[in-house]
Structures are given as structure tokens and as C-alpha cells.
Amino acid sequence: MGKETVFANLIREHQGLLFKVTSIYTNNKEDQEDLFQEVVYQLWKYFDTFRNESKISTWMYRVAMNTAITQLKKSKRNSNSVPITEVILNRSETKNDVLEERLKLLYQQIQDLNPLEKGLMLLLLEDKSYKEMAQITGLSESNVGTRISRIKAKLKKNMAK
């Protein structure tokens, strides 16, 4: 199997992960598409550097999250974007109004968090262990724990409003 095929299979396998990371860091579908594409580009660019020292998904989270925070906001879309709108970024087929409503509320809560909290919240939602969160974020496990408690308190306060 060629390198391209291995890479494409990897992305297909983890497209949900990429969708979720990009949805956390963007406010609209267009920006999400652009970010999704940029993350795939960065993963491809550094694909050869992956050394199996960590799980491939941990590496992918790290690249995706690092890419997301280093994107400057653009005011216009670039017409060169690959049209993936109706391919991955469409959840309409299995539309569930209750779920959509909850997700909307979830994204609203996340938007109020700062970039570090946003990253930790994503990993918390993904049910990652403190150890893996520490690996991805570069914080110590105890610091992750402290910050997660703070995020929970913040969310509780916001949701009570």
C-alpha cells in the first residue's frame, strides 16, 4: 500500500476526531471546512515525522489542536477550498432535534472558554485520561486536574444562569 493510501485510510478512520476538533475551534461551517482542510494538510506534511512514540490519535489531536490555535481569522473564503461541505460536515441525514439543541448549547458553553480551557474541554468530552490530556497539552497531570475542576465550576456557573 502506498503512503498516500495509508494516509487517506488514516484520515477516513479518524474523520470524526477531525470533525470534532474543528467544530470546537470555529463558529461557522465555512471556517470549519477551511480548518478541516488545513489540519489534513498539516497531518500530511508531518506524516513522516510520526514515530509511534504515542498513539496515532494522540498525535492527531496534537497536530489538529495546534493547527486550530494558530489559525488567524480570515474575512473571506478562498475559492480554492475543496468542496467538502456536503461530505463530512453534514449531520442532517440523522437529524435529531433534541441532540442538535444540546449540541448547540454545548458549543455555546465552549465558546466562552479560553483557548487552553477549550482544548481541555474537548479532551474531557472525548473521555481522555488525565495522562493523555497531559501528553497532548504539555501540562502536568495535576495541573490538568486543577484546570478541569475550574472548567467544571465555570460551566456549572454558566449553565445555572
List Cα–Cα distances, 114 to 68, 89, 101, 139, 154, in angstroms.
13, 24, 23, 15, 11
Rounded to a whole number of angstroms, the minimum distance from the CB of residue 27 to other proteins is: 17
Q: Does 132 bind other proteins (CB under 8 A)?
A: no
The one among 1, 28, 49, 52 contacting other proteins by CB under 8 A = 49
State whether the Cα torsion 30-35-36-41 is positive or negative.
positive
Residue 157: CB atoms within 10 A of its CB come to 9
Q: Which residue has the cell 472525548?
A: 126
Measured CA to CA, the distance from residue 77 to residue 91 in angstroms comes to 22
With CB under 8 A as the contact rule, the residue among 106, 130, 141, 145 that binds other proteins is: 106
For other proteins (CB under 8 A), the number of binding residues is 69
Place of cell 487552553: 116
The site string for other proteins over 51-90 (x = CB under 8 A, - otherwise) reads: -----------xx-xxx-xxxx-xxxxx-xxx-x--xx--
Residue from 51, 127, 157, 161 touching other proteins (CB under 8 A): that is 127
Helix count and strand count (H, E) for the chain: 8, 0
154 scored as a contact of other proteins (CB under 8 A): no
Question: Max Cα separation, the chain?
Answer: 54
State the Cα–Cα distance between residues 118 and 141, nearest whole angstrom: 17
Binding site for other proteins (CB under 8 A): 4-5, 7-9, 11-12, 15-16, 19-20, 34, 36-38, 40-42, 44-46, 49, 62-63, 65-67, 69-72, 74-78, 80-82, 84, 87-88, 91, 93-94, 96, 99, 102-103, 105-106, 109, 114-116, 119, 124-127, 135-139, 152, 155-156, 159
